[in-house]
Chains A and B, each alone.
Chain A
Amino acid sequence: MTELLKVIDLKKQYENDEIVTKVLHGVSFNIDEGEFVAIMGPSGSGKSTLMHIMGFLDKLTTGKYIFKGVDTSNLSDDQMAEYRNFDIGFVFQSFNLLPRTSVFDNVKLPLSYAQNPGDITAKVKQAIAAVGLNHRINNLSNQLSGGEKQRVAIARALVNDPALIFADEPTGNLDSKTGGQVMRILQTLNKRGKTIILVTHEKYTAEHAHRIIKIKDGLVEEDLQVANHIEIKDGDELIK
C-alpha cells in the first residue's frame, strides 16, 4: 500500500512564561493509505497533541512530518489551513456543529472555504447520504439526537473527500447504541478506502481499528496490528 504519512522523531514542547512542557519526546511511525489506526493512550499521554500536529492544527517543535510525500514540517498558518481544508476531515467528541444551522449548511461548511469546491450541492448530498441522514437534510442541528449530530459531523468530515479522517473520541458523548452506529459508519468508510485515525483512551473503542499505536508519556509504547478487530454490524451496540 502507498504510504500516506510518516512522522520521524517528532518532538513537541510548549513554552509558557519560560516554563517548558515537553509533550512528545520523539515519535516515529508511518501510516499507509486505507489504514484504520487507533491512537490510544491515557489522558496527558500526548495523543491529542500528536493528532493536532498530524491534522495540521498545530506545529511540531522538531522532527519531520511527511504527508503524501511532502515534508510539511514548516508550513505557514494559511498553508496549514489549506491542508486542513483539502486533505483532512475532523470528527470531534463534542460534535461541534454550528448551532441553529441546517444539516445541509453544516456539512457544506468545509466547501465554503475550498479553493475549487465544485458541485457543492451534489457533494453535500452525497456526504449526507453516506451517513444515512437524507431525511434530516433540512433539519436544524439543534433538532438532532446526539448520534445524528455525530453522523452530521462525519458527513462534514467527508464532504471534501479528504485523504485522512481524524475521529477524536467520536463515541465519547454517545450511548452504546448510537456509538455503535458511528463506529459502523467509520468502518464502512474505511472499507471504501478512507484512511481513518481514531484517537481514544478506551481499549474497546480502539479495538474497532485494525492497528493500535499506544502512546504513553510522549513516546510510542506499542504499535501493533489487531488480529481480531471488532467488526460492527448493522444494529450492533458498541461493546464496552
Chain B
Amino acid sequence: MLITDTIKMSLKNLRVNKMRSFLTMLGIIIGISSVILITSLVAGAESLIVNQIQGIGSNIIGVLPGASEEDGPPAAVFGVVITTLKEADVQAIKDQIPHISAGSAYLTSTEIITTGSQKTTVSVFGVDPDYPDISETSTDSGHFLTLEDKAAAARVAVLGSQAADDLFNGQNAIGQKIKIRQDQYTIIGTMKSQGTVGFQNVDNAVFIPITTTQKRILGIDYIGFARFKVDSQDNIAETIGAIEELLRDRHDISNPKEDDFTVSSTDSALAVLGTVTGALNLFLVAIAGISLIVGGIGIMNIMLAAVTERIREIGLRKAVGATSANITTQFLIETVIITFLGAIIGMLIGIFFAFLVSLGVNSFDYDWDFVITPTSIIISSLFALIIGLSFGVYPARKAAGYDPITALRYE
C-alpha cells in the first residue's frame, strides 16, 4: 500500500477523533515539552550564573568564612553567620602574598536611607578602597573611598548609579548628606552603572568603608567575605594555596580538614557549576524520559482499543487484498504519526514556555540566555520515534494477526 495513502488515512483518523487523538498524544506532549523546557531552563540558568560570576571580574579569588563542604558551597552562602574571618586577615593577605594586585573585605546589609524628603531601600556595601579595581568599575563623579576614610571609619558614602538617581533625580549628589540609621554620611562620589553582579544589584547600592559598616552600622568585628584580584590567571592556583597557608597560620589550624574558611576562584566556581548543571540536566531529563515512557504506554493502550474498534475494517482490508505486513505497517505508521505530532506539539509548547521564562527573567535585568539546544530537539525526536515504534509494534501485530473471516464477522 502506498505510504502516502497510509499517512493520509492516519491523519484522517486523527482528525475524526480529535479529542481522543489529543488525549493519546498528551503523554508525549508533556514528556517532550518537559525535556525541551528543562534543558532550556538549565542552560538558561547556567548562562545566568556564568554571566553573574564573570561579572564579578576576572582572576578573582574569593575567601569565605566557614569550611567548604565536600563538593558543596560553604555555609556562608546559605546565610549562616560565621565570625572567624577578620579585616586583619584581609590586610595580611594583601601585605604578605605576592601576585595580589587588589583586595577588599565585604560586608553587606540592607538599609533604608533618607535624604530630606526622599527615602529608598538599598544594599549597603562595606568595602575597601580597592573595590573599583576588583569589580573593574570606576566612579562617575567625585572619587571612591580612600585609605584615610577607612582608617577613620569615616561617615562618607559613594552612591551606586540607581541609588543616586532615586535620591537626587540626576542633580549633583557630591557633598550632599544622606542618613543611614541614625548617622549622617557625606556623599563623596557616584559609581558608573554596572547592573547585577554576583546576583547583587550594585547600582542600587551605597558603598561605605568596611570599618564604618563594622562599627557604626552592624557593630561587629568580622567580615562577610573577601575578594582578591590576582595579577595573572597563571598565578591563581599558587595564590589560593598561599592564602590558605597564611590563613591556617593566622587561625592556628594545623589540619587542612579543620579549615574555618574557604578559598576559591571564579574559575573553580564555574567548573563546579558545570558539573552541577550537568548532573541536574541528566536527572531532570531522566524524569522527563519516564513521562515519555508513560506516554508511550498510553499510546499503546489507545492503539489497542483502536485495533479492537476497527477489527471489521481490518477484516475488510484483508478481504480486498491487504497482507499482514500491510496491516502492520498501517497501524505502526499511525502510532508513529501520533507520537511524532505529539512530539512536535510538545516541542513548540516547550520552546514557547522556555521563551516566556527567558523574557520574564530578562525583564528583571538578568542576563538569561534563551537557549534551545539542537541536542534536545534531536534527542526528543528520536525518543518519540523509538517510543512510537516500540509501543506501536504490539497493537500493529495484533491487528495484522486477525483472521479475515473472524474479523469481518466481528460485532
Residues of B within 8 Å of A57, CB to CB, are: 318-319, 404-405
Whether A82 touches B321, Cβ cut-off 8 Å, given contacts A100-B16, A112-B2, is yes
Interface 1/0 per residue, A73-91 and B, CB below 8 Å:
0000110011011100010
**Quick check: is B233 within 8 A (CB to CB) of the other chain?**
no
Rounded to whole angstroms, the CA-CA distance of A113 and B313 in the bound complex is 14
Judge if B249 is at the interface, Cβ distance under 8 Å: no
**Beta-carbon contact of B321 and A77 below 8 Å:** no
When distances are taken between beta carbons in the complex, the residues of chain A under 8 Å from B319 are: 55, 57, 84, 90, 96
Residues of B within 8 Å of A156, CB to CB, are: 320
Partner of A110, one of B5, B12, B320, B325: B320
Within 8 A of A (CB), among B296-346: 312-313, 315-326
- Within 8 Å of chain A (Cβ to Cβ): is B377? no
Residues of chain B contacted by A55 (CB below 8 angstroms): 319
- Give Cα A110–Cα B323 distance, bound, in whole angstroms: 12
Q: Are B321 and A114 closer than 8 Å at their CB atoms?
A: yes
The chain A residue with its CB closest to the CB of B321 is A85
Of B319, B323, B405, B408, which is in contact with the most chain A CB atoms at under 10 Å from its CB?
B319
A98 CA to B316 CA, complexed, in Å: 9
A113 touching B312, Cβ below 8 Å = no
A61 to chain B, nearest CB (A): 15
Q: Say yes or no: is A233 at the interface (Cβ < 8 Å to chain B).
A: no
Contact B320 A113 (CB under 8 A): yes
Contacting B313 at CB < 8 Å: which of A77, A85, A98?
A: A98
A52 at the interface (CB under 8 A from B): yes
Q: Is B1 part of the contact surface with A, judged by Cβ < 8 Å? A: yes
A77 — which chain B residues lie within 8 A by C-beta?
A: 323-324
- A58/B405 in contact, CB under 8 A: yes
Q: Which single residue of chain B is at the shortest CB-CB distance from A85?
A: B321
Task: Verify B317–A52 contact, CB threshold 8 A.
Answer: no
**A112 and B16: CB pair below 8 A?**
no
A65 touches B (CB below 8 Å): no
Question: Distance (Å) between the CB of A168 and the closest chain B CB?
Answer: 9
Residues of B within 8 A of A58 (CB): 405
Q: Are the C-beta atoms of B312 and A96 separated by less than 8 Å?
A: yes
Contact of A84 among B2, B312, B320 (CB under 8 A): B320
Give B15's nearest chain A residue, CB to CB: A100
Tell whether, in the assembled complex, residue B323 and residue A112 are in contact, meaning their CB atoms are under 8 Å apart.
no
Q: Does A92 touch B at the CB level, under 8 Å?
A: yes
Rounded to whole Å, the gap between the CB of B16 and the closest CB of chain A is 5
B405 touches A85 (CB 8 A): no
Task: Give Cα A58–Cα B404 distance, bound, in whole angstroms.
Answer: 8
Cβ proximity bits B1-45 to A, threshold 8 Å, 1 near / 0 not: 110010000001000100000000000000000000000000000
Contacts of A78 in B (CB 8 A): 323-325
Given contacts A57-B404, A98-B313, whether A109 and B16 have CB atoms under 8 Å apart is no
Determine the chain A residues whose CB is within 8 A of the CB of B316 once the complex forms: 96, 98, 109
Binary interface profile of A, 157-172, with partner B (CB < 8 Å = 1, else 0)? 0001000000000000
Is B313 a contact partner of A81 (Cβ separation < 8 A)? no
Report how many residues on chain A are interfacial, defined by Cβ distance under 8 Å: 25
Contact present for A81 and B318 (CB under 8 Å): yes
Considering the chains assembled together, what is the distance between the CA atoms of A52 and B318 in angstroms?
13
Minimal Cβ-Cβ distance residue in A for B2:
A112
Nearest chain A residue, comparing its CB with the CB of B8: A105
B216 to chain A, nearest CB (A): 83
Q: With both chains docked as a complex, state the minimum distance between the C-beta of B266 and any C-beta of chain A, in angstroms.
A: 65
What's the nearest-Cβ distance from chain B to residue A30, in Å?
A: 24
CA distance A156 to B320 in the complex (A): 9
State in angstroms the CA–CA spacing of A112 and B405 once bound together: 20
**A159 to B, closest residue via Cβ:** B320
Complex-state Cα separation, A77 to B404, whole angstroms: 11
Taking CB atoms and an 8 Å cut-off, the chain A residues in 194-238 that contact chain B are: none
Residues of B within 8 A of A101 (CB): 12
Residues of A close to B325: CB separation below 8 A: 78
- Of A78, A112, A156, most buried by chain B (CB within 10 Å of CB) is A112
Do the beta carbons of B5 and A112 come within 8 Å of each other? yes
Most buried by A among B317, B318, B320, B324: B320
From A95, which residue of chain B is reached at the shortest CB distance?
B316
Instruction: Return the CB mask of A93-130 against B: 1 if under 8 Å, else 0.
Output: 00010111100000001101110000000000000000
User: How far is B320's CA from A114's CA once the two chains are assembled, in angstroms?
Assistant: 9
Report the separation of the CA atoms of residues A77 and B5 in the bound assembly, to the nearest whole angstrom: 23
Binary interface encoding of chain B residues 217-259 relative to chain A, with 1 for a CB under 8 A from any of its CBs, else 0: 0000000000000000000000000000000000000000000
Instruction: Say how far B315's CB is from chain A's closest CB, in angstroms.
Output: 8
Question: B321 to chain A: closest CB distance in Å?
Answer: 2
Min distance, Cβ A108 to any Cβ of chain B, angstroms: 8
Q: Which of B5, B12, B312, B320 contacts A85 (CB 8 A)?
A: B320
Q: Shortest CB–CB separation between residue A72 and chain B, in angstroms?
A: 15
Min CB distance, B19 to chain A, in Å? 15
With A and B bound together, what is the CA distance between A54 and B408 in angstroms? Answer: 16
28 example contacts (A-B, Cβ-Cβ < 8 A) are as follows: A55-B319, A57-B319, A57-B405, A58-B405, A81-B318, A81-B321, A81-B323, A81-B324, A81-B326, A84-B318, A84-B319, A84-B320, A84-B321, A85-B321, A86-B321, A90-B319, A98-B313, A98-B316, A99-B313, A100-B12, A100-B16, A101-B12, A110-B321, A113-B317, A113-B320, A113-B323, A113-B326, A156-B320
B residues contacting A by CB (< 8 A) are 1-2, 5, 12, 16, 312-313, 315-326, 404-405, 408
19 more contacts with CB within 8 A, not counting A81-B318, A84-B321, A112-B1, are: A57-B319, A57-B405, A77-B323, A81-B323, A81-B324, A81-B326, A84-B320, A85-B320, A85-B322, A86-B321, A90-B319, A92-B408, A96-B316, A100-B12, A101-B12, A110-B320, A113-B1, A113-B317, A114-B321
The 8 A-B residue pairs with the shortest CB-CB distance in the complex, in nearest-first order: A85-B321, A110-B320, A113-B321, A81-B323, A96-B316, A112-B1, A84-B321, A78-B323
